[in-house]
């Protein structure tokens, strides 16, 4: 039978044993994966999508799970159909890697830091395929060329920490494809990557699937990635499958209420065309939403001029400075009161360093930072402490920025206690009001961070940033780790606060669709400089710099009829920001292409 599905999951039930008794991770899930087909499994954190894939690999037992019901049928190349739920671990070891490959979400933890890339690539080939060392090395080189890693010969001798995130993920894909598996399971393989690298990796996986006929089970919460990759979509919610169908059908005509709300919460690039100011997203099931645009004002709140931050690279016996990392180079911009300026760019372009330099969490080398008439760069420690009443930061990872041992009410009250801005009943009322503002029940005030979901923790971080009534909030990738629907709620919350309290945001992100939704002005960063800057509508609708155009091309769009093809994606590798001590960069000079829309004329290296 040619049309035999490669994998059939039938009535899968997985339980986890906890102190409070068993918890059901997956209740009753059934679907098939056919040869040469990509099935995308979508859902939010905790919906059971990763548990399904780990069950198929029989790795779920190692995480404390137990398959308590259902069958996992797998069609082996030559061994007939096998129920993996009943297979012993010895046989599973032969199947894993050889017949079912897996790409994990976090490439750094999937690779062993103490072995070279070459050793890790050849290991599976020698175990499963019985190759000699030279044969395995030749095949490993071939695989690296296949996934288009630059200088593959050199990469074989390097260790994982010497590669960038995108390159590590390519190595993980090469390892998964090494033994030509019949089924490839990809668990959120691009979540942590930049837009351009994500676009390349998605195109690469699609090409490998076509060339080798492998079936792909792709797990993600990003609907735009689903539109780009899927043939069929399985939507999961709280451990159950709620909808399944061809990708065009799911996007054009979703049946289940959860699928509808999931698609409504996805910001799509191009949605804000023709709109002068940002406005909140219309979410399903939310009553009395305020969807008015937020014009802001023309008054300048923050003025940054010539900001430059470099980090020394030390080495040798006396730890001398040998070179500098040019993280931020001659950056100038303004942010108006009640408006949002977004800085976009890929990892390593210096956007987070720019945000931290403005708050002087990182000391800049040169430049002026003026916040509402106060020269931040000239302040001593005491003056800086006072200035921070007016500027706060929301970090990317809310778990790392909250204290795990403090109750949430104390974390939100802490800035007010530190600065003495409120005390006694006044303080208690203010904390309760802040919980209301970020739409968290007051009963959460006595909880600890580990008892909250990611989106709820990010709301606490926002409440804490609001505690001192700041004029400026720097949000560093504040929503990048959140699920789609939670992300939409947090973005709407930030915009509501802006329209009511007149707060200005410096919004740092690599997600172009989110930036288009929230920004008044946009600055595109590349290698420490702003290469293009202007009103959001002009930068998005009329991008002038080659790098901005590349970024726009790479963004996946949540519409299966507008897929990107690999030939559109011809990206240049990003050069190194490390320069010798005698390197003297040229100052940034700009040309005004339309009123308020500037493009860098200095050579940006792109």
Question: Who contacts 54 (Cβ-Cβ below 8 Å, separation ≥6)?
Answer: 60, 63, 65
The reported pLDDT for the residue numbered 180 is 85
518 falls in which pLDDT band (50, 70, 90)? very high
Which band of pLDDT confidence, cut at 50, 70 and 90, is reported for residue 192?
Answer: low
The Cα–Cα gap between 477 and 487 comes to 11
Q: What is the SS3 assignment for 367-382?
A: EEEEECCEEHHHCCHH
Q: What confidence tens digit (pLDDT) does each residue in 401-438 have?
A: 899 999 999 999 999 999 998 888 999 999 999 998 88
Provide the 10 A C-beta neighbour count for residue 358.
26
Q: List the beta bridge partners of residue 474.
A: 393, 506
pLDDT in tens, 456-495: 888 899 999 999 999 999 998 888 777 788 888 889 989 9
User: 355: helix, coil or strand?
Assistant: helix
Quote the pTM value: 0.83
Tens-place pLDDT, residues 50-61: 888 889 989 888
User: Per residue in 55-94, pLDDT tens?
Assistant: 998 988 887 889 999 999 999 877 788 999 999 989 998 8
Instruction: Report the distance separating Cα 237 and Cα 260, nearest Å.
Output: 12
Where do we find the tokens 């074989």? Answer: 156
Neighbouring-strand partners of residue 29: 12
| Burial state string for 305-321 with b = 16 or more CB within 10 A and e = fewer than 16 | eebbbbbeeeeeeeeee
CA dihedral in degrees (345, 349, 350, 355; nearest 10)?
Answer: 10
Closest C-alpha among 519, 495, 489 to residue 507: 519
User: What pLDDT is stored for residue 2 in this prediction?
Assistant: 52
Instruction: Select the more confidently predicted residue: 164 or 179.
Output: 179
CA 591/CA 521 separation, integer angstroms? 17
Fold held by 37-49+95-264: Rossmann fold (3.40.50)
Q: List CB contacts of 447: < 8 A, sequence separation 6 or more.
A: 407, 408
Segment 97-112 mean pLDDT: 84
Average pLDDT of 380-396?
A: 92
Sheet holding 38-42, edge to edge: 80-83, 65-76, 7-18, 21-33, 240-246, 232-237, 38-42, 215-220, 183-187, 100-103
Nearest 5°: the CA angle 325, 326, 330 is 165
Rounded to an integer, what distance in angstroms lies between the CA atom of residue 347 and that of residue 160? Answer: 17
Are the beta carbons of 262 and 223 closer than 8 angstroms?
yes
Is residue 476 a contact partner of residue 395, using CB atoms and an 8 Å limit?
Answer: yes
CA distance 450 to 456: 10
* Cβ proximity of 605 and 527 under 8 Å: yes
Rounded to whole angstroms, how far apart are CA atoms 473 and 489?
A: 18
- Distances from the Cα of 494 to the Cα of 41, 343, 390, 458, 498, angstroms: 30, 17, 17, 11, 6
CB contact at 8 A, 503 and 338:
yes
Cα gap 70→167, rounded to integer Å: 38
The two three-digit tokens of residue 14, written as one number? 């997985």
Q: Check residue 357 and give its pLDDT.
A: 95
Cα 311-317-322 angle, rounded to 5 deg? 30
| Distance, CA of 146 to CA of 174 (rounded, Å) | 8
Which DSSP symbol is given to 576? Answer: P
The CB-side HSE value for 328 (13 A sphere, CA atoms) comes to 24
pLDDT of residue 168: 86
pLDDT tens, residue by residue, 14-51: 998 877 788 888 989 999 999 889 999 998 877 888 88
Measured N-to-C along each axis, helices 133-146 and 165-177 cross at an angle, to the nearest 10 degrees, of 120
Q: Give pLDDT, residue 1.
A: 42
Residue 286, number of CB atoms within 10 A of its CB: 13
What is the largest distance, in Å, between two alpha-carbon atoms of the chain? 77
* Of 114 and 163, more confident: 114
Mean pLDDT of the chain: 88
Residue extent(s) of CATH 3.40.50.300 domains in the chain: 37-49+95-264
Beta-strand pair 472-476/391-394: parallel
The whole-number pLDDT of residue 3 equals 67
Mean pLDDT of 235-242: 92
- The pLDDT value recorded for residue 506 is 96
């Amino acid at each position: 039978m040619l049309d035999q599905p490669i994998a059939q999951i039938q009535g899968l039930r997985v339980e986890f044993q906890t102190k409070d008794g068993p918890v059901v991770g997956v209740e009753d899930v059934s679907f098939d994966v056919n040869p040469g087909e990509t099935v995308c499994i979508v859902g939010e954190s905790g919906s059971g999508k990763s548990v399904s894939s780990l069950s198929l690999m029989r790795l779920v037992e190692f995480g404390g799970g137990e398959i308590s019901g259902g069958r996992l049928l797998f069609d082996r190349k030559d061994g007939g159909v096998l129920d993996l739920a009943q297979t012993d671990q010895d046989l599973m070891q032969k199947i894993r890697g050889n017949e079912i490959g897996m790409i994990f979400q976090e490439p750094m933890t999937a690779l062993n830091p103490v072995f070279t890339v070459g050793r890790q690539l050849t290991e599976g080939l020698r175990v499963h395929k019985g190759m000699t060392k030279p044969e395995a090395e030749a095949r490993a080189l071939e695989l690296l060329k296949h996934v288009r890693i630059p200088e593959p010969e050199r990469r074989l001798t390097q260790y994982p920490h010497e590669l960038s995130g995108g390159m590590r993920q390519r190595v993980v894909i090469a390892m998964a494809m090494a033994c030509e598996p019949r089924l490839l399971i990809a668990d959120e393989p691009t979540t942590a990557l930049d837009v351009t690298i994500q676009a390349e990796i998605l195109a690469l996986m699609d090409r490998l699937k076509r060339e080798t006929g492998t079936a792909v089970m792709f797990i993600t919460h990003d609907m735009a990635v689903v539109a780009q990759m899927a043939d069929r979509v399985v939507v999961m919610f709280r451990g159950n499958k709620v909808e399944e169908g061809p990708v065009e059908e799911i996007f054009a005509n979703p049946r289940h209420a959860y699928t509808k709300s999931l698609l409504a919460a996805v910001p799509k690039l191009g949605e804000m065309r023709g709109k002068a100011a940002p406005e909140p997203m219309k979410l399903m099931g939310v009553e009395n939403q305020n969807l008015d645009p937020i014009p802001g004002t023309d008054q300048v709140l923050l003025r940054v001029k010539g900001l430059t931050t470099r980090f020394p690279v030390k080495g040798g016996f006396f730890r001398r400075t040998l070179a500098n990392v040019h993280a931020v180079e001659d950056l100038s911009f303004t942010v108006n009161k009640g408006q949002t300026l977004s800085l976009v760019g890929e990892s390593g372009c210096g956007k987070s360093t720019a945000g931290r330099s403005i708050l002087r969490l990182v000391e800049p080398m040169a430049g002026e930072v003026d916040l509402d008439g106060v020269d931040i760069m000239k302040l001593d420690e005491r003056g800086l402490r006072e200035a921070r009443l007016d500027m706060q930061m929301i970090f990317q990872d809310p778990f790392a920025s909250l204290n795990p041992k403090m109750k949430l009410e104390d974390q939100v009250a802490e800035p007010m206690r530190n600065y003495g801005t409120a005390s006694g009943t006044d303080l208690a009322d203010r904390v309760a009001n802040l919980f209301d503002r970020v739409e968290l029940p007051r009963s959460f005030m006595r909880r600890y961070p580990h008892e909250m979901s990611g989106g709820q923790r990010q709301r606490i971080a926002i409440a804490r940033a609001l505690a001192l009534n700041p004029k400026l909030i720097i949000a560093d990738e504040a929503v990048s780790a959140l699920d789609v629907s939670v992300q939409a709620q947090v973005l709407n919350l930030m915009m509501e606060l802006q329209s009511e309290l007149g707060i200005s945001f410096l919004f740092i992100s690599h997600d172009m669709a989110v930036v288009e939704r929230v920004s008044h002005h946009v600055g595109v960063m590349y290698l420490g400089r702003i290469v293009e800057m202007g009103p959001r509508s002009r930068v998005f609708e009329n991008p002038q710099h080659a790098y901005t155009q590349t970024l726009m091309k790479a963004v996946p769009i949540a519409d299966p009829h507008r897929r990107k093809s690999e030939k559109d994606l011809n990206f240049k590798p990003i050069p190194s920001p490390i320069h010798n001590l005698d390197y003297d960069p040229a100052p940034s000079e700009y040309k005004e292409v339309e009123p308020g829309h500037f493009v860098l004329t200095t050579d940006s290296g792109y």
